[in-house]
Amino acid sequence: MTNPILSDWTTPFEIAPFDTIADTDFAPALDAALQAHNAQIAAIADNPDAPSFANTVEALEAAGEQLDKVLSVFFTVAGADSNPAREELQRDFSPKLAAHFSGISSNKALFQRVAELWDRKDDLNLTDEQARVLMLTHRGFVRAGAALTGDADARMQEIKARLASLGTSFTQNLLADEREWFMDLSEDDLEGLPDFVVDAARAAGQEKGVDGPVVTLSRSIIVPFLQFSPRRDLREVAYKAWTARGANGGKTDNRENAAEILSLRQERAKLLGYDNFAAYKLETEMARTPDKVRDLLMQVWEPAKARADADAEILTQMMQADGVNGPLAAWDWRYYAEKRRKAEHDLDEAALKPYLQLDRMIEAAFACANRLFGLEFGPLDVPLYHPDCRAWEVTRNGQHIAVFIGDYFARGSKRSGAWCSAMRSQAKFPKVQAPVVINVCNFAKGDPALLSYDDARTLFHEFGHALHQMLSDVTYESISGTSVARDFVELPSQLYEHWLEVPEVLAEFATHAETGAPMPQDMLDKVLKAANFDQGFQTVEYVASALVDLEFHDGEAPADPMAKQAKVLEGLGMPPAIGMRHATPHFAHVFAGDGYSSGYYSYMWSEVMDADAFAAFEEAGGAFDPARAKALEENILSTGGSREAEDLYLAFRGRLPGVEALLKGRGLVA
């Protein structure tokens, strides 16, 4: 019987046939795909013909189609709908995949062919895109250790395999802690909570098989609980559980994992001739050096901390007026900030939420993409990996552009956070393929599902990533879509958030769940006016995390990451009532893999650009200016990694931005 993962997919638009795939199919499919890919690599490396761009670089681009299919399906379900079988498979697969890709990057015959082409690059008559792919291929081999020999080469393979296993363990420990903890609430404990929080708590209780409402560690439940519960004792229990993820002792504790990961990264960087891991990692980013990252973060830290300190004094006075003595604690901040927001802006999130229906916000994201880029979205009835998922065909002028899948609701089988991934990336070589793109979020279920304003921004953010994938128009998959510098990849996503705040978008799509009435003008005005509320808190918790990440990697690896974290925060003068957005034991961005290691700053680096990029629209004909939209698509959204990020931004804007637009956008300057 043919394995459904490896067979030809005869589904609409060749979407993975999720309804025919069983967990038992993954391991044999992976083994067969690895074997096929190894044979392809051997044929390229051992080709008796002189190396050419076609028989070496393009051959590498074309290889591994089966492996791409297996991994796209497996990692989609492992992240968004895990179970014990999939977790065990992930533990088995990670060292196997690390060894496989390590074997390719350390294949001396293959590297020799690439290096020979690199040496002759000026004589190869390559297109600009081909020259870029050759450069990236050669650089990728060198940075992976292809030029290492002997003991150094062997040690590099060991390090990569161990890092892959540690990253998987880190993720699964975190998921276990998030899945297993919940706090029962009595009917009395619900007092003071808005209906949407009560509904979410009851739905979470049903999912946990409990007869009654519960608070879980899903951000979509715990944050509103911390915002609205008048029960300080319960807020403290919930907050401490939330921030203790990965640091509870026992088999799911991530602290030793983090220490070993940092040590191995440093050793890897030294083997490649770098002073430290941050120097290695940032070499290929827009920022280039740790000092430039630190400079940006500190320019933002000072005004953000000043704002947070001033806010803390106000919140402390509010707390003491409630008869609570002593200092403001981290489990108090959101509660009193919400009270303050209601008082100062007369903006009540419980009153706001019915206007932010999930379905209407999806429509809003689609409508903006239609006005900006001419995209149309038609519902697709296809089998997907979970009943919560939905799919749409994306077209322009009647032509198929992409398939978009949305998986929006929190559940115990899904890791926390929100992300965008491509199950298939756009390419024209070796054949034309349209992308299949997924947005995964963790919103609370409801009937109808209602979002917080932050949730709505998250939806627009991830859809910005999706547009980067869907509008990609390059030849080679390796530079398609979001295959760009890490500190550039957040530009399209953060830029797209701005369209949520365009008054005419909210006026059309922010309609009441029960009455259908549009958001009243005075509420709309308050929403926009309050958009920067509590930015001191939000900026401090983010920048602290980014600076800890940088200091972990810029220098010798700390033997005790928790002590290092404490030292960095003390040096910054971290406000005591604000925690890091991601403390070390649950800092999955940095420890689940290399993606954002030394790179968590990249959201802020991109924000410097997104504030400036949206200003370009406002300076032209407004948020939907057609000339600016065309320039954005032609120079950024369609180009993938075909040119240096800095060149792409210059082509769009004509200059590079300073930090002023960001500080102004966050309301951190007068």
Residues marked active site are found at 462
Alpha carbons 576 and 565: distance in angstroms, whole number = 14
Burial tier of 379 (Cβ tally within 10 Å: 0-12, 13-18, 19+): exposed
Task: Return the sign of the alpha-carbon dihedral for residues 504, 505, 508, 514.
Answer: negative
Nearest Cα neighbor of 171 from 514, 451, 415, 447 is: 415
- Whether the bond between 448 and the residue before it is cis, its omega within 30 degrees of 0, is yes
Q: Are 653 and 647 in contact (CB under 8 A)?
A: no
| Pairing verdict, β 390-396 and 214-216 | unpaired
**Structure tokens, 314:** 């106000």
**Structure tokens, 603:** 């959201």
For 410-464, strand residue ranges (E) read 419-424, 436-443
395 forms beta bridges with 376, 400
Nearest Cα neighbor of 641 from 328, 376, 325, 426 is: 426
* 465 contact partners, CB below 8 Å, separation of at least 6: 420, 439, 482, 489, 492, 493
Alpha carbons 103 and 160: distance in angstroms, whole number = 11
- Whether the bond between 503 and the residue before it is cis, its omega within 30 degrees of 0, is no
**Structure tokens, 205:** 């209780």
Q: Are 323 and 232 in contact (CB under 8 A)?
A: no
Q: Are 245 and 217 in contact (CB under 8 A)?
A: yes
Alpha carbons 130 and 620: distance in angstroms, whole number = 35
User: What does the CA dihedral 137, 141, 142, 146 come to, rounded to 10 degrees?
Assistant: -150
